[in-house]
Amino acid sequence: MQDLFSSAHDDDDDRTTTTGRASAGAPLAVRMRPRTLDEIVGQQHLLTPGSPLRKLTETTGTKNIGPTSIILYGPPGTGKTTLAHVISHAPDRKFVELSAISAGVKDVRQVMDQALDNRDLYGRTTILFLDEIHRFNKAQQDALLPGVENGWVILVAATTENPSFSVVAPLLSRSIMLTLEPLTDEDIGLLIERALVDERGLNNTVELDEEARDYLIRMAQGDARRALTTLEAAAGVAVDQHGTNNGPAGITVQYAAQAMDQAVLRYDKDGDQHYDVISAFIKSIRGSDVDAALHYLARMIHAGEDPRYIARRLIVHASEDVGMADPTALQTAVAAAQAVQLIGMPEGRIPLAQAVVHLATAPKSNASYVAIDAALADVKSGHAGTVPKPLRDAHYPGAKALGHGVGYKYPHAYPHAITDQQYLPDELQGREYYQPTGNGREQMLAERVDRLRAVIRNQPMPQSQPTPEADAQGPEQQELRSVRNNVADD
């Protein structure tokens, strides 16, 4: 078990004094850590009067109305550990911290035993801050349940992983999940300005020009710790270059770039960002926003996503969302996947980008996808029936005696290789799974499918319908009309 001010928190080197104040040698992000809820920048949706966080920092309420265990969920640098530090100063409470990286079941049980003694002997409530709870396995999380359920401890757990997938259901149901959002540019700017002038921070020893300020905000990507860490590094570069004898050293965008020359995207290949970005990627392609699709492709490539995974998703999308509206989309997606396999990265980004542009700008149809799912639904629900005898295998002795293959009409023996014949089982006669859309090349199929069905079912031929492109004069429209005429001739 670790005391709050004796170990690192949330990847920071918390070099603090025994009174809880950050020492002068601590990182800027630690020195500038808020001491009260009112000093916290951002997350105002969690700090309203009467909120769980407010109750955790106030004196104990009535016996039946008090603080509740909470799970703080959000990306790095949004204030999870900061909130724990503020809560640690709550009156009449014992504050204990464990890190899921190093603690085990024995440590958890030790905290629970001590918490029970504190409650029964001294009337003090124990607040247990558990950092990175998603690293605890099921047995370790289960060890928390008795203390949380019986009120021996108030759990404050922090995680960057979605608790719905990383926290056991019994513990989740006994806690309130609070979601922290990435800080806005205004929030990051306020933190930077505060760090420049505060005596705990840089104390007016450096000045930051507007271009460098904008650069720090942009590169921080909503992460307060990253913003302050980069500011501190940039200040060090400025002081080394100019010293402080002639007043505050100036931080330029060049110095800021030396401190951080690339934005670090939040992207965990096994976590929420992986699924959120790939979801946005596919939905952008489906929505025909080629620019957004390329943006998400770039994010995945920059974060080191497996290009084969991206290629596989493109292949699925080519059939699921483009389909027969542009049959060449699947060819492009497959070719991109093969190209990535052959040439690897970084060159593989080029065929991937070509496939993304093709799929995003292509006309869309999910008719094939809907059709197979409809057919599967019939099969799963027992609507299968028997295969018509003329369609059954007749290539074995005795098949003819069973009627297999008898009466089968060989399509190539008829004009245009089509004739009336029953193909579906009796109970499924009349089913129409495939419903062509009017998008792209699939609009040319719509009339053809209707005419094919009429011939196969020996029904009256449907009347040709005028098409939107009937009066168009461009070469593509002329080709389209030609194809339609050929279909009608069939």
Q: Which of these, 213, 153, 224, 152, lies nearest to 187 by C-alpha position? A: 224
pLDDT under 70 in the chain at which residues? 1-24, 59-67, 243-245, 261-274, 464-490
Domain 185-259, CATH among 1.10.8.60, 1.10.220.70, 1.20.120.1200, 3.40.720.10: 1.10.8.60
**CA distance linking residue 441 with residue 362, whole number of Å:** 10
Where does the chain hold its CATH 3.40.50.300 domain(s)?
A: 4-179
**Could you report the per-residue pLDDT of 412-445, keeping only the tens digit for each?**
988 888 889 888 888 888 888 989 988 888 888 8
Instruction: Please tell me the predicted confidence (pLDDT) of residue 244.
Output: 61
The 3-state secondary structure of 133-186, one letter per residue: HHHCCHHHHHCCHHHHHCCCEEEEEEECCCHHHHCCHHHHHCCEEEECCCCCHH
Return the structure tokens found at 7: 């170990």
All CATH 1.10.8.60 domain ranges in the chain, comma separated: 185-259
What pLDDT is stored for residue 250 in this prediction?
87
Q: What gap in Å lies between CA 321 and CA 437, rounded to an integer? A: 12
Out of 3.40.50.2300, 3.40.1190.20, 1.10.3710.10, 2.40.50.140, the CATH code matching 367-489 is 1.10.3710.10
Q: Record the tokens describing residue 157, joined without a space.
A: 């757990």
The fold of the 272-361 domain, in CATH, is Zinc Finger, Delta Prime; domain 3 (1.20.272)
Pick the closest to residue 280 from 310, 325, 319 (CA basis). Answer: 310
Classify 42 as helix, strand or coil.
coil
pLDDT at 50: 82
- Range(s) within the chain of domains with CATH label 1.20.272.10: 272-361
- Can you tell me the distance from the alpha carbon of 425 to that of 211, in angstroms, rounded to the nearest whole number? 72
Are the C-beta atoms of residues 294 and 356 closer than 8 Å to each other? yes
- Range list for CATH 1.10.3710.10 in the chain: 367-489
The domain made up of 4-179 has a fold known as Rossmann fold (3.40.50)
Q: What is the dihedral of CA 280, 358, 294, 366, to 10 degrees?
A: 0
Q: Which of 295, 357, 271, 285 shows the shortest CA–CA distance to 321?
A: 285
Q: Note the pLDDT of residue 2.
A: 38
Express each pLDDT in 257-282 by its tens digit: 887 755 445 545 555 566 788 889 99
